[in-house]
Structure 1
Amino acid sequence: MADLMKTPLYGLHLELGAKMTAFAGYAMPLHYANGIIREHLHCRSQAGLFDISHMGQCLILGERAAEVLENLTPGGIVELAIGAQKYTVLTNPAGGVIDDIIVARIDRGLSLIVNAGCKDKDYAYLAQRLPDNCVLQIRPELALLALQGPEAAVVMNRFSAEAVALDFMQTCRTRIDGIDCRISRSGYTGEDGFEISVRQTDAETIARLLLAEPCVEPIGLGARDTLRLEAGLCLYGHELSETISPLQAGLKWLFKKGHADFPGATKILSELDGVPQTRVGLLVVGKIPVREGCAVTDEQGQQQGIVTSGSFSPSLQRPVAMALIHSDMAKIGKNLFAQVRGQSIAVTVAHLPFVPHRYHRS
């Protein structure tokens, strides 16, 4: 772990008994003493605290910031009110995805959260495309924590009335125990929850305050992945990539009607009437997990796609997966097979998400 970058909570993770792993160049907690399944179920039933400080945070400042990002994404940025957030993608000229990002409108421009493994290329890409009257400001001094689960709002109500008043995908500046932070009502688990952006020097203080609450436990990357899989959410490098279009990934809802001025628009918009491959959920018959990279075949043994993410679902008590498969196979209830170490494992095409979202909308 010596050659890996460390978040400001690295020492706390060790104190809490985390098993550390390498992820996107960082030493990150895979799980703690209770293990992935118990952490997962705790987040679904109470509240979990995640260290996501490896993610990138930056600002695009200037009067034209929203207009500029509008033309690098499928749109909807210029309509954002101050304090509103949007999930979107940066597209490339070939119709693929450079990264999926969260964008918030602030009074001076935009605030962005980008994936850890993509942040360097994202920053370079954005810097090359900003006009002179816009400025990219990278914020390496900030940490990011996520408080997720059905008890998250109860906990947050003890610290910030402004944050608890937010709806899903809204953000505000507030204080926790006198510490300045920006909080959004968002997350990557399918549960109600909050993401807290705070200076690295204050991150451990905030984390300890939240972990002192009886219903809050620390959650590692392992459960973060199984939670997002159950929620049917894309992971960059799996369901999204430079060669997978946002429409193949099932993100048609991102596209603003009539907006055609963004990289790769000609190719991407040609898929609005149908894509050759599409993302689906798979329920696995039996107990053998179906992992990323497994071929998906039909009853005749012909390959129809590939698994992009797969794991055991603690909530459903069975293996589940997501896959990119030929669109004519993507019928709910369709029986297919995943090829796992020479075995044909029966799978059934299923609705996404596997577990319903519980986002807070007033």
Structure 2
Amino acid sequence: MHTRMSMIKNIVFKRFNSNLKKTALHDLHVSLGGTMVPYAGYSMPVLYKGQTHIESHNWTRTNAGLFDVSHMLQSKLSGPHAVKFLNRVTPTDFDTLPTESGTLSVLLNREGGVVDDTIITKENQNNKFHIVTNAGCAERDIEFLRGELQNYPALDCRWKIIEGKSLLALQGPKAKDVLEPLLEKAAQGRDLKELFFGQRREFALKDGTLIQIARGGYTGEDGFEISVPNEKAIEFAEKLLANPVAKPIGLAARDSLRLEAGMCLYGHELDEYITPVEAGLNWVISKSRRNLVNEKDRFNGYAKIMNQLNNKAYNRIRVAFKYLKNGPAARNGVKIFLPDAQTEVGLVTSGSASPSLNNINIGQAYVEKGHHKSGTELLVQVRNKFYPIELAKMPLVPTHYYKH
């Protein structure tokens, strides 16, 4: 009976797994002992054999961790009116963004809600932009961007998905030491020490393969996101992992690392009903775009977002918190109360133990305005029990970005 049930489970899993997409690194993950799970429509490694979640997390904080983020959607926007189009769908000033530099922004619907968070890089002065958006939002992002382009047919610009490229994230204080030996020193003298946080440039590997490297990432550590041709992805990853200070890291550690760094996860901290102001992302709304007289220059949801920004016309705000005592982690959807344990004032959006903070439980949440200041003590209700928390400034763990 037990054998028959196991066979049935395996058949069900295989059928389920067959519907999942695979990145170019899938076979490498399996060979490295990756525990593969469904994530954003892909089969992705959550953990690797021989590593615990805590060990993976701490390794990235102290050495170099390699993440497969090829499930992210890479695309290009180009044309004379590319900036005008970005002015419609984001609140960020890309006209003044330096060449080969990128920034976090948000795609906005007509009500000012966040369709997705995104990294947009200006490739050159000819209105060419590289865009990275979330895998879980890929279908919606495609529909949204194509729809917005159709809504403004007078704008001369083109958007297309980049095919055949993998995206790897190498994160941690020793990431530079792992990546640099694999690069060919270009004639123009390009060197990783001249690539600063937020910048993205083309480099060549020793065999002449051209890759694009962006300095940044999702962990709060120094690191790189590297776009490499699919046919070279496994070979490149194996060369990175041949360095003893580099290890493959899965989704479990990626989530706890980003929580410590105060990063948002779409579908948790962000969705189409949350504005960038409520999400505490005021800085993505460029100052040059906050007083736009001409309606044609305004971004989606401009009136609502500026009312929130100028008049604090919102009821909730994103916060971070730490547990004050031991207890089970507060996950998405857990309610937050005032110390009286009667008055509900918020909802948890993400939560887990923090390996960098002695495994105390941390998280992010939305709480009512007036109860959102750092140092405020509240309660989370987990399994019908209340646990004291304290709101804290983000990031919960100091970041180590490589800046000028």
Q: Which band: TM-score by shorter chain?
A: over 0.9
Taking the aligned partners of 1:166 and 1:287, their CA distance within structure 2 comes to 43
Q: Which amino acid aligns with 2:194?
A: A
Structure 2 partner of 1:191: 221
Structure 1 residue corresponding to 2:179, chosen from 141, 156, 169: 156
* 1:62 Cα offset (Å): 1.0
- Alignment of 1:264 with 2:297, yes or no, is no
**Counterpart in the other structure of 1:84:** 101
Q: CA separation in 2, counterparts of 1:159 and 1:287?
A: 45
2:346 corresponds to which of 294, 300, 305? 305
- Do structure 1's residue 314 and structure 2's residue 344 form an aligned pair? no
Contact 1:306 1:324 in 2 (8 A): yes
Spell out the pairing of 1:97-108 with structure 2 (5 A cutoff). 97-107=114-124, 108=126
Report sequence identity in percent. 40
Structure 1: where are the runs of 5+ without partners? none
Pairing 1:109-148 to 2, within 5 Å after superposition: 109-130=128-149, 131=153, 133-148=156-171
Question: Which residue is 2:384 aligned to?
Answer: 342
Equivalence for 2:265: 235
C-alpha separation in 2, matches of 1:313 and 1:321: 9
Q: 1:180 & 1:361 partners in 2: Cα distance?
A: 24
Q: Give 3-state SS (helix, strand or coil) of 1:281's partner.
A: strand
Contact kept in structure 2, 1:57 and 1:113, CA below 8 Å: yes
Which one-letter code corresponds to 1:231 in the other structure? A
- 1:142-176 superposed Cα distances (whole Å, 9 cap, x missing partner): 11000000001122221335334200000101112
Q: Which residue of 1 aligns with 2:3?
A: none
2:315 aligns to what?
Answer: 276
Alignment of 1:1-16 (within 5 A): 1-16=17-32
> Is this contact kept in 1: 2:373–2:391, CA < 8 A?
yes
Name the CA shift for 1:241/1:277 in 2 (closer, same or farther; >3 Å). same
1:221 matched residue in structure 2: 251
The answer on whether the counterparts of 1:337 and 1:347 sit within 8 Å (CA) in structure 2 is yes
Give 1:157's aligned amino acid.
Answer: E
Moved more, 178-187 or 151-160: 151-160
Pick the structure with more helix per residue.
Answer: 2
Does the CA contact (< 8 Å) of 2:214 and 2:224 recur in 1?
yes
Distance in 2 (alpha carbons) for counterparts of 1:228 and 1:149 = 13
Question: Could you tell me which residue of structure 2 aligns to residue 39 of structure 1?
Answer: 56
Aligned to 1:181: 211
Q: Deviations over 1:219-272 (max 9, x none)?
A: 001100000000000111111100111111100111112525011111111111
Distance in 1 (CA, whole Å) between partners of 2:319 and 2:160 is 37
Distance 1:64 1:163, change over 3 A: farther
- 2:218 is aligned with what amino acid? Y
* Partners of 1:283 and 1:276 in 2: CA distance: 22
Do the aligned residues in 1 keep the contact of 2:169 with 2:226 (CA within 8 Å)? yes
CA displacement at 1:201 relative to structure 2: 1.2
Deviation at 1:81, TM superposition (A): 1.8
CA contact (8 A) 1:67 1:77 kept: no
Counterpart of 1:355 in 2: which secondary structure?
coil
Specify the code of the residue in structure 2 equivalent to 1:139: I
How much has 1:94 moved relative to structure 2? 1.6
Partner of residue 62, structure 1 = 79
Q: Distance in 1 between matches of 2:394 and 2:222?
A: 18
Contact 2:327 2:387 in 1 (8 A): no
CA shift, 1:196, in A, is 0.3
The reply on whether 1:292 has 2:332 as its aligned counterpart is yes
The residue type paired with residue 69 of structure 1 is L
- SS of corresponding position for 1:112: strand
Contact kept in structure 2, 1:47 and 1:151, CA below 8 Å: yes
Deviation of 1:351 after TM superposition, in Å, equals: 1.2
Structure 1 letter corresponding to 2:140: K
Contact 1:249 1:279 in 2 (8 A): yes
Is 1:168 equivalent to 2:208 in the alignment? Answer: no
Q: Which runs of 5+ in 2 are unaligned?
A: 1-16, 184-189, 293-297
**What is the rounded CA distance, in whole Å, between the counterparts of 2:306 and 2:218 in structure 1?**
27
Rg larger for: 2
Secondary structure of the corresponding residue to residue 163 of structure 2? coil
| TM-score, normalised via structure 1 length | 0.97
Moved more, 126-135 or 246-255: 126-135
Query: Aligned partners of 2:89 and 2:192: how far apart in 1?
Result: 30
Count of aligned pairs between the two proteins: 362
> What secondary structure, in the 3-state scheme, does the structure 1 residue paired with 2:147 have?
helix
